[in-house]
Structure 1
Amino acid sequence: MPTVIALLQKYSAISVPTGLLAAALLALAAALTAQPAVAAEARWQALDDALTQGQRHDRIWRFGWGGFHGANLGRNIYLASEGSDRDTRFDARVDSVKSLLALGTLLLESPPYPEARHRLQDLRASGHPDALHRAEQLIAETARIEAQRRRPGALKGALAVNIAAGATIAIGDDRTGDGLRNAALGMAVSAIQVWTRPTSAQGATARAGATTRIPGGDPPRLHYRMVIAPSQAALALYW
Protein backbone atom coordinates (compact mmCIF):
# COMPACT_ATOMS: atom_id res chain seq x y z
CA MET A 1 0.00 0.00 0.00
CA PRO A 2 1.51 3.39 -0.94
CA THR A 3 2.19 6.07 1.66
CA VAL A 4 -0.73 8.48 2.04
CA ILE A 5 -0.27 12.10 3.25
CA ALA A 6 -3.45 14.03 4.02
CA LEU A 7 -3.52 17.68 5.15
CA LEU A 8 -6.66 18.83 6.93
CA GLN A 9 -7.56 22.14 8.51
CA LYS A 10 -5.42 21.97 11.66
CA TYR A 11 -3.58 18.68 11.50
CA SER A 12 -1.55 16.47 9.26
CA ALA A 13 -1.74 12.67 9.10
CA ILE A 14 0.84 10.25 7.75
CA SER A 15 -0.04 6.61 6.97
CA VAL A 16 2.75 4.06 6.65
CA PRO A 17 2.17 0.60 5.11
CA THR A 18 3.74 -1.42 7.90
CA GLY A 19 2.92 -2.42 11.42
CA LEU A 20 6.61 -2.55 12.26
CA LEU A 21 6.74 1.27 12.45
CA ALA A 22 4.12 1.47 15.20
CA ALA A 23 6.75 1.54 17.94
CA ALA A 24 8.70 4.21 16.09
CA LEU A 25 5.58 6.34 15.69
CA LEU A 26 4.76 5.96 19.35
CA ALA A 27 8.28 7.01 20.30
CA LEU A 28 8.02 9.99 17.95
CA ALA A 29 4.73 11.08 19.49
CA ALA A 30 6.15 10.76 22.99
CA ALA A 31 9.21 12.78 22.02
CA LEU A 32 7.14 15.52 20.41
CA THR A 33 4.81 15.86 23.37
CA ALA A 34 7.70 15.79 25.84
CA GLN A 35 9.77 18.35 23.95
CA PRO A 36 8.09 21.46 25.47
CA ALA A 37 8.68 20.14 28.99
CA VAL A 38 12.33 19.38 28.23
CA ALA A 39 12.82 22.81 26.67
CA ALA A 40 11.18 24.50 29.67
CA GLU A 41 13.41 22.62 32.10
CA ALA A 42 16.48 23.60 30.09
CA ARG A 43 15.38 27.22 30.11
CA TRP A 44 14.83 27.18 33.89
CA GLN A 45 18.35 25.85 34.31
CA ALA A 46 19.77 28.47 31.95
CA LEU A 47 18.12 31.28 33.92
CA ASP A 48 19.38 29.92 37.21
CA ASP A 49 22.88 29.51 35.78
CA ALA A 50 22.83 33.11 34.54
CA LEU A 51 21.96 34.47 37.98
CA THR A 52 24.48 32.18 39.67
CA GLN A 53 27.20 33.35 37.30
CA GLY A 54 26.17 36.96 37.80
CA GLN A 55 26.29 36.62 41.57
CA ARG A 56 29.75 35.03 41.40
CA HIS A 57 31.05 37.71 39.02
CA ASP A 58 29.54 40.46 41.16
CA ARG A 59 31.20 39.07 44.30
CA ILE A 60 34.60 39.00 42.60
CA TRP A 61 34.01 42.47 41.17
CA ARG A 62 33.07 43.93 44.55
CA PHE A 63 35.91 42.31 46.46
CA GLY A 64 38.38 43.32 43.77
CA TRP A 65 37.37 46.96 43.54
CA GLY A 66 36.73 47.21 47.26
CA GLY A 67 40.27 46.00 47.89
CA PHE A 68 41.63 48.42 45.30
CA HIS A 69 39.90 51.46 46.78
CA GLY A 70 40.63 50.35 50.34
CA ALA A 71 44.33 49.98 49.59
CA ASN A 72 44.38 53.38 47.89
CA LEU A 73 42.64 54.94 50.87
CA GLY A 74 45.21 53.53 53.28
CA ARG A 75 48.09 54.62 51.06
CA ASN A 76 46.73 58.14 50.64
CA ILE A 77 46.08 58.56 54.35
CA TYR A 78 49.69 57.61 55.00
CA LEU A 79 51.07 59.93 52.30
CA ALA A 80 48.87 62.80 53.49
CA SER A 81 50.99 63.03 56.62
CA GLU A 82 54.21 61.27 55.67
CA GLY A 83 54.69 62.36 52.05
CA SER A 84 58.14 63.52 51.02
CA ASP A 85 57.00 66.96 49.85
CA ARG A 86 54.11 69.37 50.09
CA ASP A 87 52.62 68.51 46.68
CA THR A 88 52.55 64.81 47.48
CA ARG A 89 50.82 65.45 50.80
CA PHE A 90 48.27 67.78 49.18
CA ASP A 91 47.44 65.32 46.38
CA ALA A 92 47.16 62.48 48.89
CA ARG A 93 44.57 64.41 50.90
CA VAL A 94 42.52 64.98 47.75
CA ASP A 95 42.86 61.36 46.69
CA SER A 96 41.87 60.17 50.16
CA VAL A 97 38.49 61.83 49.72
CA LYS A 98 38.09 60.26 46.27
CA SER A 99 38.97 56.79 47.56
CA LEU A 100 36.61 57.15 50.50
CA LEU A 101 33.72 58.18 48.24
CA ALA A 102 34.42 55.33 45.81
CA LEU A 103 34.58 52.78 48.63
CA GLY A 104 31.41 54.09 50.25
CA THR A 105 29.49 54.01 46.98
CA LEU A 106 30.60 50.44 46.38
CA LEU A 107 29.55 49.29 49.85
CA LEU A 108 26.17 51.03 49.78
CA GLU A 109 25.10 49.64 46.39
CA SER A 110 23.25 46.33 46.68
CA PRO A 111 23.69 43.63 44.01
CA PRO A 112 20.48 42.43 42.31
CA TYR A 113 21.40 38.75 42.04
CA PRO A 114 20.66 37.25 45.50
CA GLU A 115 17.08 38.55 45.55
CA ALA A 116 16.56 37.60 41.89
CA ARG A 117 17.76 34.04 42.54
CA HIS A 118 15.44 33.73 45.53
CA ARG A 119 12.48 34.92 43.46
CA LEU A 120 13.43 32.59 40.62
CA GLN A 121 13.50 29.58 42.93
CA ASP A 122 10.10 30.53 44.35
CA LEU A 123 8.64 30.79 40.85
CA ARG A 124 10.10 27.44 39.83
CA ALA A 125 8.69 25.74 42.92
CA SER A 126 5.26 27.33 42.52
CA GLY A 127 4.31 25.23 39.49
CA HIS A 128 2.22 28.11 38.15
CA PRO A 129 1.41 27.74 34.42
CA ASP A 130 2.88 31.17 33.76
CA ALA A 131 5.88 30.75 36.07
CA LEU A 132 8.46 30.51 33.30
CA HIS A 133 7.15 33.65 31.65
CA ARG A 134 7.39 35.48 34.98
CA ALA A 135 10.92 34.17 35.37
CA GLU A 136 11.80 35.59 31.96
CA GLN A 137 10.44 38.95 33.11
CA LEU A 138 12.56 38.69 36.26
CA ILE A 139 15.69 38.08 34.20
CA ALA A 140 14.77 40.98 31.91
CA GLU A 141 14.39 43.23 34.96
CA THR A 142 17.81 42.13 36.25
CA ALA A 143 19.28 42.75 32.79
CA ARG A 144 17.89 46.29 32.85
CA ILE A 145 19.62 46.91 36.19
CA GLU A 146 22.87 45.61 34.71
CA ALA A 147 22.54 47.84 31.67
CA GLN A 148 21.66 50.86 33.78
CA ARG A 149 24.73 50.40 35.96
CA ARG A 150 27.00 50.02 32.92
CA ARG A 151 25.64 52.86 30.81
CA PRO A 152 27.80 55.97 30.23
CA GLY A 153 25.46 57.95 32.48
CA ALA A 154 26.64 55.83 35.41
CA LEU A 155 29.89 57.81 35.26
CA LYS A 156 28.22 61.13 36.09
CA GLY A 157 29.01 60.88 39.79
CA ALA A 158 32.61 59.90 39.12
CA LEU A 159 32.92 62.75 36.61
CA ALA A 160 31.75 65.29 39.18
CA VAL A 161 34.13 63.96 41.85
CA ASN A 162 37.13 63.89 39.52
CA ILE A 163 36.45 67.36 38.14
CA ALA A 164 36.22 68.69 41.68
CA ALA A 165 39.44 66.91 42.66
CA GLY A 166 41.29 68.12 39.59
CA ALA A 167 40.05 71.67 40.10
CA THR A 168 41.15 71.59 43.73
CA ILE A 169 44.69 70.74 42.66
CA ALA A 170 44.73 72.97 39.56
CA ILE A 171 43.17 76.06 41.13
CA GLY A 172 43.54 75.57 44.85
CA ASP A 173 47.19 74.58 44.65
CA ASP A 174 48.03 76.33 41.35
CA ARG A 175 49.13 73.14 39.55
CA THR A 176 47.02 72.90 36.41
CA GLY A 177 48.91 70.00 34.84
CA ASP A 178 48.74 67.87 37.97
CA GLY A 179 45.05 68.65 38.34
CA LEU A 180 44.29 67.53 34.80
CA ARG A 181 46.29 64.34 35.23
CA ASN A 182 44.52 63.56 38.49
CA ALA A 183 41.08 64.01 36.91
CA ALA A 184 41.97 61.98 33.81
CA LEU A 185 43.42 59.09 35.80
CA GLY A 186 40.43 59.07 38.11
CA MET A 187 38.00 58.92 35.19
CA ALA A 188 39.96 56.10 33.56
CA VAL A 189 39.75 54.03 36.75
CA SER A 190 36.03 54.79 37.12
CA ALA A 191 35.33 53.79 33.51
CA ILE A 192 37.14 50.47 33.91
CA GLN A 193 35.20 49.81 37.11
CA VAL A 194 31.87 50.42 35.37
CA TRP A 195 32.72 48.42 32.25
CA THR A 196 33.84 45.36 34.24
CA ARG A 197 30.47 44.92 35.91
CA PRO A 198 28.59 41.61 35.41
CA THR A 199 26.40 41.16 32.32
CA SER A 200 25.14 37.59 32.76
CA ALA A 201 21.43 38.51 32.85
CA GLN A 202 21.80 40.53 29.66
CA GLY A 203 23.44 37.51 28.05
CA ALA A 204 20.60 35.23 29.14
CA THR A 205 18.04 37.66 27.75
CA ALA A 206 19.88 37.90 24.44
CA ARG A 207 20.14 34.10 24.14
CA ALA A 208 16.40 33.76 24.63
CA GLY A 209 15.88 35.56 21.31
CA ALA A 210 12.77 34.66 19.43
CA THR A 211 11.99 31.76 21.77
CA THR A 212 10.76 34.14 24.46
CA ARG A 213 6.97 34.05 24.52
CA ILE A 214 5.13 37.29 24.00
CA PRO A 215 3.40 38.44 27.22
CA GLY A 216 -0.25 37.43 27.20
CA GLY A 217 0.20 34.75 24.55
CA ASP A 218 -0.78 31.11 25.02
CA PRO A 219 1.90 28.42 25.12
CA PRO A 220 1.89 26.06 22.14
CA ARG A 221 0.07 22.76 22.68
CA LEU A 222 0.67 19.58 20.74
CA HIS A 223 -1.69 16.58 20.69
CA TYR A 224 -1.62 13.37 18.72
CA ARG A 225 -3.78 10.40 17.75
CA MET A 226 -2.47 7.03 16.68
CA VAL A 227 -4.21 4.24 14.80
CA ILE A 228 -2.56 0.83 14.44
CA ALA A 229 -3.99 -1.77 12.05
CA PRO A 230 -2.56 -5.07 10.80
CA SER A 231 -1.44 -3.49 7.53
CA GLN A 232 -0.65 0.09 8.52
CA ALA A 233 0.07 2.54 11.31
CA ALA A 234 -1.11 6.15 11.29
CA LEU A 235 -0.10 9.13 13.40
CA ALA A 236 -2.05 12.42 13.47
CA LEU A 237 -0.52 15.53 15.03
CA TYR A 238 -2.69 18.46 16.18
CA TRP A 239 -1.45 21.97 17.05
Structure 2
Amino acid sequence: MVEGTVGGEMRCGSSSVPDGASVGGKVSDPAGVARALKPLLARIEVTQTRAFVAASDAVATFRILRLASTSTPRDVDAAIARELPFDPQRMATRWLDVVDPQAQQRVVYAAAWDQALVKNITEAIKLAGLEPTVVELKSASVARAVPAPACVVVDLSSSPAEIVLIDKHLPRVWHTFTVEEPIGDDAVSALAAPLRTTLRFYRRQSNGDFGPSAPVFVSSEQTLPPQLLSELSGLIGQPVLLLPAPARVPHNVRHSTYLACLGLLMRRS
Protein backbone atom coordinates (compact mmCIF):
# COMPACT_ATOMS: atom_id res chain seq x y z
CA MET A 1 0.00 0.00 0.00
CA VAL A 2 1.22 3.49 -0.91
CA GLU A 3 -0.27 6.87 -0.04
CA GLY A 4 1.04 10.09 -1.53
CA THR A 5 1.75 11.70 -4.87
CA VAL A 6 4.35 11.12 -7.57
CA GLY A 7 7.07 13.69 -7.02
CA GLY A 8 5.87 14.35 -3.47
CA GLU A 9 5.88 12.63 -0.11
CA MET A 10 4.92 8.95 -0.01
CA ARG A 11 4.17 6.57 2.83
CA CYS A 12 4.13 2.87 2.17
CA GLY A 13 3.86 -0.46 3.88
CA SER A 14 2.94 -4.09 3.35
CA SER A 15 1.48 -6.89 5.40
CA SER A 16 0.82 -10.59 5.04
CA VAL A 17 -2.75 -11.87 5.09
CA PRO A 18 -4.05 -14.87 7.05
CA ASP A 19 -3.38 -18.26 5.49
CA GLY A 20 -5.96 -19.05 2.85
CA ALA A 21 -7.47 -15.54 2.78
CA SER A 22 -5.88 -14.83 -0.60
CA VAL A 23 -4.31 -17.48 -2.80
CA GLY A 24 -2.74 -16.84 -6.20
CA GLY A 25 -4.16 -13.32 -6.33
CA LYS A 26 -7.73 -14.45 -5.62
CA VAL A 27 -9.35 -13.24 -2.40
CA SER A 28 -11.46 -15.96 -0.79
CA ASP A 29 -11.87 -14.39 2.68
CA PRO A 30 -12.57 -10.63 2.45
CA ALA A 31 -12.89 -10.29 6.24
CA GLY A 32 -9.50 -11.94 6.74
CA VAL A 33 -7.84 -9.59 4.25
CA ALA A 34 -9.53 -6.60 5.92
CA ARG A 35 -8.14 -7.66 9.31
CA ALA A 36 -4.65 -7.48 7.82
CA LEU A 37 -5.33 -4.13 6.13
CA LYS A 38 -6.66 -2.25 9.18
CA PRO A 39 -3.43 -2.27 11.24
CA LEU A 40 -1.49 -1.51 8.05
CA LEU A 41 -3.62 1.60 7.48
CA ALA A 42 -2.94 2.68 11.05
CA ARG A 43 0.79 2.04 10.79
CA ILE A 44 1.14 4.04 7.59
CA GLU A 45 -1.18 6.73 9.03
CA VAL A 46 -3.35 6.76 5.93
CA THR A 47 -5.46 9.91 5.69
CA GLN A 48 -7.41 9.17 2.50
CA THR A 49 -10.77 7.44 2.57
CA ARG A 50 -10.81 6.42 -1.11
CA ALA A 51 -8.45 3.95 -2.74
CA PHE A 52 -7.25 2.87 -6.15
CA VAL A 53 -6.84 -0.91 -6.24
CA ALA A 54 -4.58 -3.07 -8.41
CA ALA A 55 -6.19 -6.50 -8.78
CA SER A 56 -4.29 -9.59 -9.79
CA ASP A 57 -4.66 -10.58 -13.43
CA ALA A 58 -5.74 -13.97 -12.07
CA VAL A 59 -9.28 -12.56 -11.68
CA ALA A 60 -9.59 -11.40 -15.29
CA THR A 61 -8.29 -11.55 -18.82
CA PHE A 62 -7.57 -8.81 -21.33
CA ARG A 63 -7.02 -8.27 -25.04
CA ILE A 64 -5.77 -5.48 -27.28
CA LEU A 65 -8.07 -5.37 -30.30
CA ARG A 66 -7.47 -3.65 -33.62
CA LEU A 67 -10.64 -2.77 -35.50
CA ALA A 68 -11.59 -0.69 -38.49
CA SER A 69 -11.42 3.05 -37.79
CA THR A 70 -15.12 3.26 -38.70
CA SER A 71 -16.18 0.57 -36.20
CA THR A 72 -19.09 1.36 -33.92
CA PRO A 73 -19.52 0.47 -30.23
CA ARG A 74 -21.67 -2.44 -31.38
CA ASP A 75 -18.80 -3.65 -33.58
CA VAL A 76 -16.45 -3.43 -30.59
CA ASP A 77 -18.85 -5.43 -28.41
CA ALA A 78 -19.12 -8.09 -31.11
CA ALA A 79 -15.32 -8.32 -31.43
CA ILE A 80 -14.96 -8.67 -27.66
CA ALA A 81 -17.55 -11.46 -27.63
CA ARG A 82 -15.49 -13.32 -30.24
CA GLU A 83 -12.14 -12.76 -28.53
CA LEU A 84 -13.28 -13.15 -24.93
CA PRO A 85 -16.04 -15.77 -24.78
CA PHE A 86 -17.58 -15.56 -21.33
CA ASP A 87 -20.62 -16.41 -19.23
CA PRO A 88 -22.57 -13.12 -18.81
CA GLN A 89 -24.01 -14.44 -15.53
CA ARG A 90 -20.51 -14.71 -14.06
CA MET A 91 -18.30 -12.36 -16.05
CA ALA A 92 -18.42 -8.65 -16.88
CA THR A 93 -16.55 -6.70 -19.54
CA ARG A 94 -15.29 -3.21 -20.13
CA TRP A 95 -13.37 -1.64 -22.99
CA LEU A 96 -11.51 1.61 -23.58
CA ASP A 97 -10.17 3.26 -26.72
CA VAL A 98 -6.38 3.52 -26.77
CA VAL A 99 -4.88 6.70 -28.21
CA ASP A 100 -2.27 5.70 -30.81
CA PRO A 101 -1.45 8.51 -33.28
CA GLN A 102 0.43 6.07 -35.54
CA ALA A 103 -2.39 3.53 -35.78
CA GLN A 104 -4.54 3.44 -38.89
CA GLN A 105 -7.11 1.36 -37.02
CA ARG A 106 -9.18 1.73 -33.88
CA VAL A 107 -7.22 0.26 -30.95
CA VAL A 108 -9.24 -1.02 -28.00
CA TYR A 109 -8.17 -2.37 -24.60
CA ALA A 110 -10.80 -4.87 -23.45
CA ALA A 111 -11.03 -6.78 -20.18
CA ALA A 112 -13.38 -9.43 -18.84
CA TRP A 113 -13.43 -10.23 -15.15
CA ASP A 114 -15.04 -12.65 -12.75
CA GLN A 115 -17.59 -10.52 -10.88
CA ALA A 116 -17.54 -12.64 -7.73
CA LEU A 117 -13.75 -12.51 -7.46
CA VAL A 118 -13.63 -8.75 -7.98
CA LYS A 119 -16.46 -8.31 -5.47
CA ASN A 120 -14.36 -10.15 -2.87
CA ILE A 121 -11.52 -7.67 -3.46
CA THR A 122 -13.72 -4.58 -3.16
CA GLU A 123 -15.49 -6.06 -0.12
CA ALA A 124 -12.15 -6.50 1.65
CA ILE A 125 -11.25 -2.85 0.94
CA LYS A 126 -14.62 -1.66 2.24
CA LEU A 127 -14.38 -3.76 5.40
CA ALA A 128 -11.01 -2.13 6.06
CA GLY A 129 -12.71 1.28 5.99
CA LEU A 130 -11.84 2.51 2.49
CA GLU A 131 -13.95 3.15 -0.59
CA PRO A 132 -12.50 1.47 -3.72
CA THR A 133 -13.04 4.05 -6.46
CA VAL A 134 -10.92 2.40 -9.16
CA VAL A 135 -10.04 -1.25 -9.68
CA GLU A 136 -7.66 -2.07 -12.51
CA LEU A 137 -5.52 -5.04 -13.40
CA LYS A 138 -2.02 -5.13 -12.00
CA SER A 139 -0.57 -5.54 -15.50
CA ALA A 140 -2.07 -2.19 -16.55
CA SER A 141 -0.61 -0.47 -13.48
CA VAL A 142 2.81 -2.00 -14.08
CA ALA A 143 2.79 -0.91 -17.75
CA ARG A 144 2.24 2.66 -16.61
CA ALA A 145 5.16 2.58 -14.16
CA VAL A 146 7.98 1.12 -16.28
CA PRO A 147 10.32 3.46 -18.21
CA ALA A 148 10.28 1.68 -21.60
CA PRO A 149 7.49 1.53 -24.20
CA ALA A 150 8.38 -2.09 -24.99
CA CYS A 151 9.76 -4.40 -22.32
CA VAL A 152 9.13 -7.48 -20.21
CA VAL A 153 8.73 -7.26 -16.43
CA VAL A 154 9.58 -10.34 -14.37
CA ASP A 155 8.13 -9.93 -10.88
CA LEU A 156 9.84 -12.39 -8.56
CA SER A 157 8.33 -10.77 -5.47
CA SER A 158 4.88 -12.13 -6.37
CA SER A 159 3.72 -15.63 -5.54
CA PRO A 160 3.56 -17.20 -8.03
CA ALA A 161 6.10 -15.16 -10.01
CA GLU A 162 4.66 -13.09 -12.85
CA ILE A 163 5.72 -12.02 -16.32
CA VAL A 164 4.12 -9.01 -18.01
CA LEU A 165 5.06 -8.29 -21.62
CA ILE A 166 4.47 -4.64 -22.54
CA ASP A 167 4.46 -3.19 -26.04
CA LYS A 168 3.66 0.40 -26.99
CA HIS A 169 3.03 1.09 -23.28
CA LEU A 170 0.24 -1.51 -23.16
CA PRO A 171 0.23 -4.89 -21.41
CA ARG A 172 0.05 -7.63 -24.04
CA VAL A 173 0.77 -10.91 -22.20
CA TRP A 174 0.48 -11.95 -18.55
CA HIS A 175 2.02 -15.25 -17.47
CA THR A 176 2.74 -16.88 -14.12
CA PHE A 177 5.31 -19.46 -13.12
CA THR A 178 6.83 -21.00 -10.01
CA VAL A 179 10.40 -20.36 -8.97
CA GLU A 180 12.13 -21.76 -5.90
CA GLU A 181 13.60 -19.38 -3.36
CA PRO A 182 16.22 -18.32 -2.54
CA ILE A 183 17.16 -17.61 -6.15
CA GLY A 184 20.67 -18.79 -6.90
CA ASP A 185 22.97 -19.34 -9.85
CA ASP A 186 20.97 -22.40 -10.92
CA ALA A 187 17.81 -20.31 -11.41
CA VAL A 188 18.83 -19.13 -14.89
CA SER A 189 17.18 -22.01 -16.73
CA ALA A 190 14.09 -21.78 -14.50
CA LEU A 191 13.67 -18.12 -15.51
CA ALA A 192 14.63 -18.60 -19.16
CA ALA A 193 11.94 -21.21 -19.91
CA PRO A 194 8.84 -19.08 -19.08
CA LEU A 195 10.44 -16.02 -20.67
CA ARG A 196 11.04 -17.88 -23.93
CA THR A 197 7.44 -19.13 -23.84
CA THR A 198 6.10 -15.60 -23.35
CA LEU A 199 8.29 -14.09 -26.09
CA ARG A 200 7.45 -16.83 -28.59
CA PHE A 201 3.73 -16.52 -27.89
CA TYR A 202 3.68 -12.76 -28.39
CA ARG A 203 5.83 -12.85 -31.50
CA ARG A 204 3.41 -15.33 -33.06
CA GLN A 205 0.51 -13.07 -32.14
CA SER A 206 2.18 -9.90 -33.41
CA ASN A 207 3.96 -11.33 -36.48
CA GLY A 208 7.35 -10.96 -34.83
CA ASP A 209 6.89 -7.31 -33.92
CA PHE A 210 8.92 -7.32 -30.67
CA GLY A 211 12.55 -6.42 -31.14
CA PRO A 212 15.61 -8.03 -29.53
CA SER A 213 16.59 -4.69 -27.98
CA ALA A 214 13.48 -4.53 -25.74
CA PRO A 215 14.75 -4.98 -22.18
CA VAL A 216 13.67 -7.55 -19.63
CA PHE A 217 13.37 -5.90 -16.21
CA VAL A 218 13.69 -8.20 -13.20
CA SER A 219 11.98 -7.14 -9.98
CA SER A 220 13.03 -8.98 -6.84
CA GLU A 221 13.17 -8.47 -3.09
CA GLN A 222 16.24 -10.67 -3.05
CA THR A 223 19.72 -9.58 -4.13
CA LEU A 224 20.36 -11.53 -7.32
CA PRO A 225 23.73 -13.05 -8.27
CA PRO A 226 25.46 -10.61 -10.69
CA GLN A 227 26.09 -13.26 -13.33
CA LEU A 228 22.43 -14.34 -13.39
CA LEU A 229 21.31 -11.36 -15.46
CA SER A 230 24.05 -11.72 -18.08
CA GLU A 231 23.54 -15.48 -18.41
CA LEU A 232 19.79 -15.05 -18.68
CA SER A 233 20.28 -12.42 -21.38
CA GLY A 234 22.39 -14.85 -23.39
CA LEU A 235 19.76 -17.57 -23.16
CA ILE A 236 16.76 -15.50 -24.23
CA GLY A 237 18.41 -13.02 -26.61
CA GLN A 238 17.17 -9.88 -24.86
CA PRO A 239 19.00 -7.44 -22.55
CA VAL A 240 18.20 -8.27 -18.91
CA LEU A 241 18.41 -5.56 -16.25
CA LEU A 242 17.29 -4.95 -12.70
CA LEU A 243 14.03 -3.02 -12.63
CA PRO A 244 14.86 0.72 -12.47
CA ALA A 245 13.00 3.00 -10.10
CA PRO A 246 10.29 5.12 -11.76
CA ALA A 247 11.01 8.82 -12.03
CA ARG A 248 10.15 11.06 -9.08
CA VAL A 249 9.79 8.21 -6.60
CA PRO A 250 11.52 8.74 -3.20
CA HIS A 251 14.46 6.47 -2.38
CA ASN A 252 12.69 5.16 0.73
CA VAL A 253 9.98 3.52 -1.41
CA ARG A 254 10.95 0.02 -2.55
CA HIS A 255 9.80 0.29 -6.13
CA SER A 256 10.11 -3.45 -6.75
CA THR A 257 7.58 -4.11 -3.97
CA TYR A 258 5.19 -1.27 -4.73
CA LEU A 259 5.41 -1.04 -8.53
CA ALA A 260 1.70 -1.63 -9.12
CA CYS A 261 0.77 0.95 -6.46
CA LEU A 262 3.12 3.47 -8.06
CA GLY A 263 1.45 2.82 -11.40
CA LEU A 264 -1.91 3.57 -9.80
CA LEU A 265 -0.61 6.87 -8.44
CA MET A 266 0.65 7.77 -11.93
CA ARG A 267 -2.90 7.28 -13.18
CA ARG A 268 -3.88 10.58 -11.59
CA SER A 269 -0.56 12.48 -11.75
TM-score calculated relative to the size of structure 2:
0.21
Richer in strand (by share): 2
Bigger Rg, structure 1 or 2:
1
TM-score calculated relative to the size of structure 1:
0.22
Between 1 and 2, higher relative CO (CA 8 Å, sep ≥ 6) is seen in: 1
